Amino acid sequence: MIQDLMAGLDEAQAAFRTEIRALLSQERVRESAARIAAYPPDTEAAHLDVRRWLGAEGLLAPAWPAQYGGRGLGAAEAALVTEELTRAGIPDDVQVLSIDIVGMMLLHEGTETQRKTHLPPLAAGEQIATVLFTEPECGSDLSALRTRAEPDGDGWRLYGSKVYNMKSRYGEFAVCAARTTASPVPMHGITLFLLPLRSPGVHVEPVPSLGNDTFNLVVIDGVRLTEADVVGQVDDGWRLMNELLQLERTGVDFHAKARRLLDLVLDRAAATGRLSDPAYAVPLAELDAKLHAAHALAWQQVARLDAGSPDPVRSAMAKWYASEQARPVLDAGLDLYGLDAALTAWDGHAPDGGLLEAGYRMGPSHRLASGTSEVMLYLIATNGLGLL
């Protein structure tokens, strides 16, 4: 069980967390989490009843105004939803993509028409939104993207390919980055569009991955979009992408996943009497302390978002530190579980439902998602320390 580290919550925020935990502890949610954990290899979590149940109570997007399906609360409540979903065993990918990233971008940068059209169904858990930035020849360096928006009357036609995106097979629309203006400066001339994923001219196919969920390849062939589909201003996409990544890089979700795994390992160590053995107790105590530190760093970024003053360097620090804890936690679990750690949820005899084995397959993604660890260290070294 995720430890209660949130002594800094005020009374209303603590009550909000209690409300979320009460809903997520219901039998129908526990049964749903068990079904999700037992999904066969070709099935992944996307449109879930749990999200609709939360949405009906205004709990999916609590930081959004009531007219868009939220409660008009703050970043702390939004972060609590992400933490508690992970604690309950509900995958958080859709939450992070649809609510924490795309939804928040539309809330801050979208037009009123875009907000009225897209935010309520996202907040209700009825629709999924995704992000289309990465391309086959463009990974961490988004300034190298090649997807182009060619002028067509009063709009554009988009051409290009996006890869390694999540949930696009199930999404209704995506925030897609495309080049609208040729420029010798690669960061200039990029625009963000709202791309309907089920339009003629959009082809989505799965790309196998080590995790339970697949990546996707999205090929865009001549989809016509207009000014109404632009997020923010034309050619201002680079700034918006960097602001979006700050929303994604608090480290809250990375910490929550590592915390859940470590709690399983600690429970196993206690049940087998290993916590009385210094060979196990000392490294586990060190990992526990590091996750306390990761949690504190992540919630500092949540506080900055709440205050309207996100810090890209400190966000990079929080994301890097939290995501780097996954690997040593998994190694500790392998040491403790032994060969049982290799049993999958589909074997039928895996301890803890095969969560450790699934965690091992997902482990590399912690250091890659939301910006690689190397990119985070580069941001810290250059923008923070002025070393390069």
pLDDT digits (tens, 9 = 90+) for 182-196: 888 888 999 999 999
| Residue pointed to by tokens 């990029």 | 190
Torsion angle of alpha carbons 97, 101, 103, 104, nearest 10°? 160
Domain with CATH 2.40.110.10 in the chain: 131-237
Q: What is the mean pLDDT of the chain?
A: 90
Query: Regarding predicted confidence, which is higher, 10 or 388?
Result: 10
Domain with CATH 1.10.540.10 in the chain: 11-127
Name the percent of the chain lying above pLDDT 70: 98
> The domain 249-384: what is its CATH number?
1.20.140.10
At 296 the pLDDT is 94
Q: What number is the average pLDDT over the span 82-91?
A: 90
Cα four-point dihedral sign 194, 198, 201, 206: positive
Q: What number is the average pLDDT over the span 241-252?
A: 80
346: confidence class by pLDDT, cuts 50, 70, 90: confident
What contacts 385, CB < 8 A, 6 or more positions away? none
What is the rounded distance in angstroms from the CA atom of residue 135 to the CA atom of residue 133? 7
String of DSSP letters for 210-279: SSSS-EEEEEEEEEEEEGGGEESSTTBHHHHHHHHHHHH-SSHHHHHHHHHHHHHHHHHHHHTTGGGSHH
Instruction: Give pTM, 2 decimals.
Output: 0.88
DSSP H helices in the chain: 11-24, 27-37, 49-56, 75-87, 93-94, 104-109, 112-123, 237-248, 252-271, 278-306, 312-324, 326-337, 355-366, 373-379
Identity (one letter) of the amino acid at 219?
V
Domain with CATH 1.20.140.10 in the chain: 249-384
At 185 the pLDDT is 85
* 199 token code pair: 């339009």
Pick the CATH number of 131-237 from 3.40.50.720, 1.10.1060.10, 3.30.70.100, 2.40.110.10: 2.40.110.10
Distance of CA 83 to the CA centre of its chain: 11
Query: Regarding predicted confidence, which is higher, 216 or 39?
Result: 216
The predicted-structure confidence for 150-208, as pLDDT tens digits, reads as follows: 999 999 999 999 999 999 999 999 999 999 998 888 889 999 999 999 999 999 999 98
At 3 the pLDDT is 40
CATH 1.10.540.10 fits 11-127, yes or no: yes
